[in-house]
Structure 1
Amino acid sequence: MPRRRTRRITGRDRRILNHLAEFHSATVDVLHRRFFAEKKVEAVRSTLRRLSTGPHQVVQSVPLDGRRAWYQLTPQGARFVGHKSYDCRTLGLHATARQFALQWFLFLAEEDLRLVNLHDFPDLFPVRGHRLPQGRFYFRTQSGIEPTSSTKTEERRTSTVQRLGYLAFDFGGRPLRIAQRLQQTLRRFLMHGWFDSLIQDGQFEVTLLTINASRRRSYDHTLPDMLHRNLATQLARFHTADSKLPSLAFPVTSRSVPGLHDIIYGRSPQ
């Protein structure tokens, strides 16, 4: 009886494995958005079943919270993509929460975002030799329509603006302590002057990811005023008499990550 042919690893399979190598773990929703945009979610589950069984066994399902699972590489999968430093152990609670929140922000929040390593741009960001904070930096690309200078007709053209953002996390600690930690980080940025030109041009922002809508509303209400008050000395150089910059000189916004509360505290009561 002829042996059944084993399906080879496809190009999309490799992209999935590379994603897991970069972010350690991923949910079905994230993989669906990134690699199966034109297909139903069952296509993702079918692919993951194939990659986790049979001769391949390059991915494995691991618990995410009390009712969900997500996927990471097996030792065989890490070897397959040549990622020798990949740690195949299950992530701890805070590392799980961080990766879950980060991937929601990058891939599910309907934003045009990509992570950036400041050390890759030494001419733009003079951070060499400095230890950077635990948060992540990202580029946000925004497109808009602006009028042209044509005098004959009211023409419009598409403009693209790219902002550098700093991403901070709140996993349920004391809100005041979270705010103070962010304040210390921003004070360090301002003291070094790393992002002064971007701030002056309105191309720098801060995003805080938190566990629920209640905390998001609290941060939105109190955080900008607190930062403006306590960083007034460092922010003074950005303001002139005709400055159109907001009082804080750059936007600070909070986003609540769906499902993050369940990871931190277990399944929410029904």
Structure 2
Amino acid sequence: MQIFHHKSELRDRIESLRQEGLVIGFVPTMGALHMGHLSLVQRALDDSQYVVVSIFVNPTQFNNKKDLETYPRTLDADIALLKTVDSKKILVYAPKVVDIYGQTLKTERFDFDGLDNVMEGAYREGHFDGVGTIVKRLFEIVRPDCAFFGEKDYQQLLIIKSLVKKTKLPVKIIGCPIYRELDGLAMSSRNTRLSLQHRLAAPFIYKTLKTAKEKFGTKSAKYVTEWVEDEFKLQDLLDLEYVLIADSETLKPVKRKSIKKSYRVFIAVYAGDVRLIDNIALN
């Protein structure tokens, strides 16, 4: 497996592949890889001849310094896991901060047409400017034909699509289904930080989302939202940060349902000091 720590070397390799007319896929990650990441990589391999997987914990998208410091960094294990998928057609890009940002760590500012004003944007100030900054830079370095993102971070997926449209970057963005544990918990690198008690309690999140979907068929968005809030008030180990039912395209909160629109319910929950997010399509 080819591993690159410097963008100049990676660019040279990608350019040689392009001269052969090969399609380049891209899966950006922050490492601590799990089966959810591998499902994205496999999808990328299905659609591309070669796939670049970046492993980089991006400092500009953390508004919580402690969260950045405690984020797991497991490069050797990540590489070993990627080799179980394919050892020849995956290129790993694992740069230092200076290779991405140079000597000055600076966050760009973006206009995402309000997509960043709710949910994660409302609770994590500056988060999506940080996401936009790193994704734009990685796209400029890798110059992929297509890039793959999981729907667990659905808001981020829409924002990246907006970024590509506004910056006219020639990359196709492909969203992939949420990969879940057998008990329904959405796979996340943060799951490894859960205590045993919190890990056993966490599947309640997806269970509640599934019931909310059932109720949304006959009840109003306001009713379903309040029902979810009441359910979490009964949980000793899970602390609800937000629940929102929103339009799947604009992320605007639903006031009155329309059969012409699609909706999703989004949720953020603290299990101890570990923050978990999830969502589910409602129709």
TM over 0.5: no
TM-score, scaled to structure 1: 0.27
The higher relative CO (CA closer than 8 Å, separation ≥ 6) is in 2
TM-score, scaled to structure 2: 0.26
